[in-house]
Structures are given as C-alpha cells and as structure tokens.
Structure 1
C-alpha cells in the first residue's frame, strides 16, 4: 500500500470514527425509545389478552383499559424523547384523555 493510500484510508477511518462518536448519543436514545415502545406494546398485549371475557361488552371495556394504558406508556416515552411541539401536545392530551377514559371504564367494570 502506498503512502498516499494509507493517508486516504486513515482519513476515512478517522471521519467514520468521528461520525460514530457524534451519532452515538442519538442512536442510544433511539434504541432506548424502541425498547420502551416494545415493552409498552408487550405489556399492553398481555393485559388485553387477560381482558378476554365471555361477555363481549365486559371484554371490550377490560381490553380498552389495557389499550389506553399502552397509549399512555407510549406517550410518556415520546415525551422523554421529542421536542416537536405538535407531538408533545398530542402526547400530553392523549395521556389526560386516556387516563380519564380508563377511570370511566374501570368504574363501569366494577359495577358489572
């Protein structure tokens, strides 16, 4: 390998290393969010399956409680990660509304 080729290769390797160092925090954050989203969905799916009931109305109510919790958990994750004002507003609104609906459904479930 010539001296020029070694210099070019060293420059490419240095540039790639620099890009990795600069990108690593964002990648770690994205991977952390992905893990949280997956955990939220798995928790939601398991809870929805537990909500199965011979009465289709009760089953729907129980599964919706779990579904709403999944939405709340995912909204909390995005709030930790995003600075986008529209997404933040939607996530905050979703948490509030989904929590209120959960309470209504849980109250209904307790009476039936």
Structure 2
C-alpha cells in the first residue's frame, strides 16, 4: 500500500521517502557494479584458463558490465528524481532489461569458463 504521490507540480511537497528509496536503489546498483569491477580484476589474477584470451575476454566483459551498471544507475536515479519532483509516473521497464542482460552475460561467462577447461 503506497501513499498517493504529490510533487511540486501538483501543489504538494516532495515525498522524501521516495527520494531516499531512490538513493538506496542507486547505491545498491553502484555496489553491484563495483562488485562486477572487482570480479573483473579477480578474473585476471585468479582464473587459470588454458587460453589467456578467454581470461582477458571475460575480464573485459565483466569490466564493461560494471561500467554499464554505473551508467545505468546514474541515469535511472536521475529519471526517478525528475519524475518524483514533477509528479510524472515512474517507468519500471529498465530494471527488467538490466536484469535480463546481466543474466545473459553471466550465462555467457559460465559457458566461456567451462569451455576453456
């Protein structure tokens, strides 16, 4: 159950619970991207693949995923912040798309890692 949203465009004040939830979500996505960057570094140092190109490719893939995660988190935070302040509806398609791409990349990484054995 959620309270009706009122923003400055509707004559009300900004609901700070929504703003704080938006910031928590931004920090969670940023933390996940940082974990991806750490995994990228760990792959270069700890994975003993037969072919160095597999290890490098996996590290680059994880690094690019981390960079995309940070960029998406910032874009999503800004969009929700603007929607909150203007009273516009908040779209929910983005998180599903990011999750689907992340799962696809993770599956590809597992296939690459198992194929290198």
Deviations 1:14-66 (A, max 9, x none): xxxx94xx532122112212321221122111111111158133222244257
User: Hey, what does 2:61 align to over in structure 1?
Assistant: 64
User: Hey, what does 1:40 align to over in structure 2?
Assistant: 32
- The count of corresponding residues between Structure 1 and Structure 2 is 84
Write the distance in 2 (CA, Å) between the matches of 1:62 and 1:35: 23
Q: TM-score, normalised by structure 1?
A: 0.51
User: Hey, what does 1:107 align to over in structure 2?
Assistant: 111
- Contiguous gaps of at least 5 residues in structure 2: 1-11, 46-50, 81-88
Query: How has the CA–CA distance of structure 1 residues 37 and 93 changed in structure 2, closer, same or farther, with 3 Å as cutoff?
Result: closer
Higher-helix-fraction structure: 1
Write the distance in 2 (CA, Å) between the matches of 1:33 and 1:109: 31
- Contiguous gaps of at least 5 residues in structure 1: 1-17
Cα RMSD after superposing both structures: 3.5
**Structure of larger gyration radius:** 1
